[in-house]
Amino acid sequence: MAQARDRGKQPLVLLVEDDPQDALIVQELLDDSGFDVRLELARSVDEARRQLARLRPQCVLLDLGLPDAYEFSALSSVLEEAGDAAVVVLTGLAEEQAGLAAVTAGAQDYLVKGRVEAEWLGRTLRYAIQRKQAEQAAVALHAERVRAKENARLERGLLPTPLLGDMPIVVASRYRASRGSATLGGDFFDVVESDDKVVHAVIGDVCGHGPDEAALGVCLRIAWRTLVLSGVTGTSLLRQLERILKAERAGGEIFATMSTLMLEPDQRTIRVWRAGHPGMLVHAPDGVSLAEPEPGPALGLPMEGNWREHVMELPAGGGLTLFTDGLFERRLPGESPRWLGEEGLLELAGKRAGLDGESFLDALIADVEAIAAPETAADDIAVVHLRWKDES
C-alpha cells in the first residue's frame, strides 16, 4: 500500500484496519486529500505494535472495531507503543461517543467512517501530527525549564557564604558569571574565620569560562575552606591546592590564579600569598591605592618560582577589595585599542572611596560597565570587600 513518493520528506501514517475495503477507501481519500503521506497497513493490534516499533510513524489511524481488541484495549495497546506518533481513531456511524471517549483517553482526534471526506481526512491527520509535535515541544520545554531551575538552585547553593565568628569584620561581595544564565563561573572567593580569630580570605580565577572551569572553581574553593579550617595556610596551602587542581582539571593546559590572605586579630596586619593573581585595592581614610605584592606562579603552570609570604599593614579604619581580572580587562571605546587595566580601575575606585562596602562594589562595577565596550564583558567577575567594623 505504500506509494512511490519521496519517503525522506513524507509523514508516515500507519493505518490499523482489518477490512481491506475500508483500507482501500482510506488510501483513495488520502490520495485525493492533497496531504502527501506514506501509508502503511497493519491488520491487527499485534501487527500494529510490531510495525510501530519498526517504522516509528508520525501518525496512527486506528480502527476501534478490530476483531482482536475489546472496547479500548486496541487504543491502550497502540498508545503504549506509539511514542511520538499522533493517534487518530476511526469509529462506526453509531459509535461517535466512543470517538469522544478515545480523545479523552489520549487520542489526538477521531473520525466517523462514512462521514469522512478527502480534504477533511487530510486536514485531520495534518493537524493531529502538528498538535502532537506541539505537545512534545511543550513537554521538552517544561523539562528544560525544570532542569534549568534545578541547576540554578544547585549553583546558588555552591556560592560561598562567609563563615565568620566573633571578629568584627564586614564582608561584601558581588559575583557575575559570563555563561549566559549560569550562576557560577570559573572565578571563586571565600571568607572564613579560624579558631585563632584570624580571618582568612581567598579569591581565584580558573582559566576558561565553561562548566568544567566552574566545577573546578567550586572544587578549589571548598578545598581551600577545608584546608584552612584544618590549620593549613600559606605556601603549604597553595601546594595542596595545586595538587588538587592537577588531579581535577579537564586538561593539562588548565591553570588558576589565586590570592590567599590572613587578616590578623590586631586588625592591622595582613599576610598575603599571590599565585599569579592581580593585586588588591587598599582603602584608607584619604583614598584608595593598589597593592601588588610580588606574585608566585599561577597554580598548575610548569614555571619556576615559589609563593612567598608578604606582610602588609592595613591603615586604621581601612579595608581591602579583592577582584578578578574580569573587572579590569575591559577595552575602552575608540578607534585605537585602549584597555581599562588596573590603573584605570584604581582611578574609578578613587572616585568612590567614601562609600561603604556594598555601595562601593555596586558603584565600581557600574562605573566599569559605563565606560567599557560592551563586547568585552565576556569574563566572569568576582569582587570582595573586607573592612573591620569601627567599634569606637
Domain ranges of the chain: 12-142, 160-388
CB 171 within 8 A of CB 319: no
The CATH H-level superfamily of 160-388 is PPM-type phosphatase domain (3.60.40.10)
How is residue 14 written as a grid cell?
A: 500507519
What is the model's pLDDT at position 368? 93
- Can you tell me the mean pLDDT for 366-375? 86
Q: Is 216 exposed, middle or buried (0-12, 13-18, 19+ CB in 10 A)?
A: buried
Tell me which H or E stretch contains 62: strand 59-63
Whether 150 has a pLDDT exceeding 70, the answer reads: no
What is the pLDDT at residue 139?
Answer: 86
Nine cell digits for residue 24:
482501500
Strand order in the sheet with 38-42: 38-42, 12-16, 59-63, 86-91, 109-112
- Provide the grid cell at 210: 565553561
Whole-angstrom distance, CA of residue 60 vs CA of residue 89: 8
CA-to-CA dists, residue 308 to 53, 84, 235, 260, 325, angstroms: 67, 63, 7, 11, 21
Going by pLDDT thresholds of 50, 70 and 90, the confidence category of residue 154 is low
12-142, superfamily in CATH? Response regulator (3.40.50.2300)
With 0.85 as the threshold, say if the pTM is over it.
no
Give the mean model confidence (pLDDT) for residues 299-321. Answer: 91
The per-residue pLDDT of the chain, averaged, comes to 88
CB atoms within 10 A of CB 116: 16
Distance, CA of 61 to CA of 125 (rounded, Å): 8
Tens digits of residue pLDDT in 333-345: 876 778 899 999 9
pLDDT in tens, 259-279: 999 999 999 999 999 999 999
Model confidence at 181: pLDDT above 80: no
**Separation between Cα atoms, residue 148 and residue 74, nearest integer Å:** 38
10 Å CB burial of residue 42 (0-12, 13-18, 19+) is: buried
Q: What angle do CA 177, 175, 248 make, to 5 degrees?
A: 60
